[in-house]
Every structure is written in C-alpha cells, then in structure tokens.
Structure 1
C-alpha cells in the first residue's frame, strides 16, 4: 500500500512542477497596477529532416553553413554534423546526423 501512496504523491508533485512553466507577478506603481507574466516559449517543431538534395542548392554535393541555415536544427548542429571538421557537411555526414534526429 505504501508504494502506491508514494507513487501517487510523486505524480501529484510532477503535475505541480509542470504547471510552473509560467509565472506572474503584480506590482503597484504610481501609474497603476502592472502585471508581468513570464515563461518559456514553446519549442518549435520542424518535422523530419529534408532530403540532402533539397538543402544542396548549388549542387556541389556538400552543404555549407548558408545551405544548412535552411533547416534550423541542422544549422544549430553544424559543427557536430561536420565530423571531419572541413567546414562542409557531406551527404554521408548529413545522413548520419539525420538518422539521430
């Protein structure tokens, strides 16, 4: 019985932690009441990585940083996707990166 009570208590606690994604505070000023609400923005969903050919705009068979910028998750991971550190992402490097997305 005790493990169930503990589990229910932890579930309730998890819900209250999740509910704290935003906070609100009210201040009294000379001009009147001011309420400040803050929170984390929603994470963007970009979908599956596009085909390599769709990003390789100049057809050279490698992606530079400007081409990678067309898909923000790749631009964010550029230095990690560029395994040999040559400043470009080859098709093989891209496919390896995309497999982990």
Structure 2
C-alpha cells in the first residue's frame, strides 16, 4: 500500500505528457502532390535558400534587376519554388540624418551639465550617453561634451 501513491503519480504524469504530445501533433498535414499525381512539366524544385553576394545578383537570369545601387550590407537569398524562382533582398535601413551637433548650452538649457533626459533631444548623444559621460557621474559636463563631439 505504501507504493501505490508514487505509482499513481508516475502514471498520471506520463499520461499527461503523452496527451500533450498527441495534442501538439494533432494538426492535419498539408497534402503534398506525389510524383504520380504531378504533371510531367511540374517537377519538384529545391527550396533551400542559396545566399549570394550583391555582386552575384546581376547574373540571376530572368528576374528583373533593380537599377539602383545596392548597399554594401545587403544580403540576397534565391530560392526555387514550384511557381518559379524567388529572390529576397534584405538590408538594414539607412539611419535618419541627425544633423550637426547642437551647442552645449542648447542641450543643457543653460545649466553646467547635460542630464540623460536632456541628451534625448539629440539621438546620437542619447545613444552614446554612457560613452560621453567619461567620469560616470550620470551627467555630461561641457568638457566631456566637447571631447565627445571631437571624436564623433
């Protein structure tokens, strides 16, 4: 009688795990055409992505080419699908122009230092706030700001 409770616990846990696996796999599989049902002209094609460099995109055959120059950090993937060749171009968007750095007095509001909240008015400084705050006191002095603008 002592071993009855642990045995029931193990059985209940395994039944729950089995039921969870059955529920998780209870999806109707998509019907894929077999070789017998496919017409002769429609043969299955490879759908694995093939990474290429931007220089290789000019030799991709029938795909229309983008006439604009591509950024250096752009990547291209080409996949063969049943409906034809698919080319995907991806790149990081260009950052918005930040313009020239504002004066220390403009950012500090006439104070002797720039706080983190005040630095948010200039996104580049807000991004580099920890780097610009050389002595790590939570505010940027005029000397620290001038040093940061000279390195930027």
| TM-score scaled by length of structure 2 | 0.44
* Contact 1:69-1:75 at 8 Å conserved across structures: yes
Q: Which runs of 5+ in 2 are unaligned?
A: 1-52, 57-70, 82-86
Residues 23 and 67 of structure 1, relative CA distance in 2, 3 Å threshold: same
Q: Deviations over 1:11-49 (max 9, x none)?
A: xxx9728567154778x8xxxxxx976421112221221
SS of residue in 2 equivalent to 1:63: strand
Deviating runs (4+, > 2 A) in structure 1? Answer: 17-20, 22-26, 35-39
* Contact 1:81-1:93 at 8 Å conserved across structures: yes
**For the pair shown, which has the larger CA radius of gyration, 1 or 2?**
2
More helix by share: 1
- Name the counterpart of 2:47: none
Which among 138, 141, 148 is matched to residue 90 of structure 1? 141
- Name the counterpart of 1:3: none
| TM-score scaled by length of structure 1 | 0.64
More strand by share: 1
Aligned pair 1:16/2:68, yes or no? no
* Contact 1:22-1:40 at 8 Å conserved across structures: no
Residues 79 and 20 of structure 1, relative CA distance in 2, 3 Å threshold: closer
Could you say which structure has the greater relative contact order, defined with CA pairs below 8 angstroms and 6 or more residues apart?
Answer: 1
Residues 20 and 94 of structure 1, relative CA distance in 2, 3 Å threshold: closer
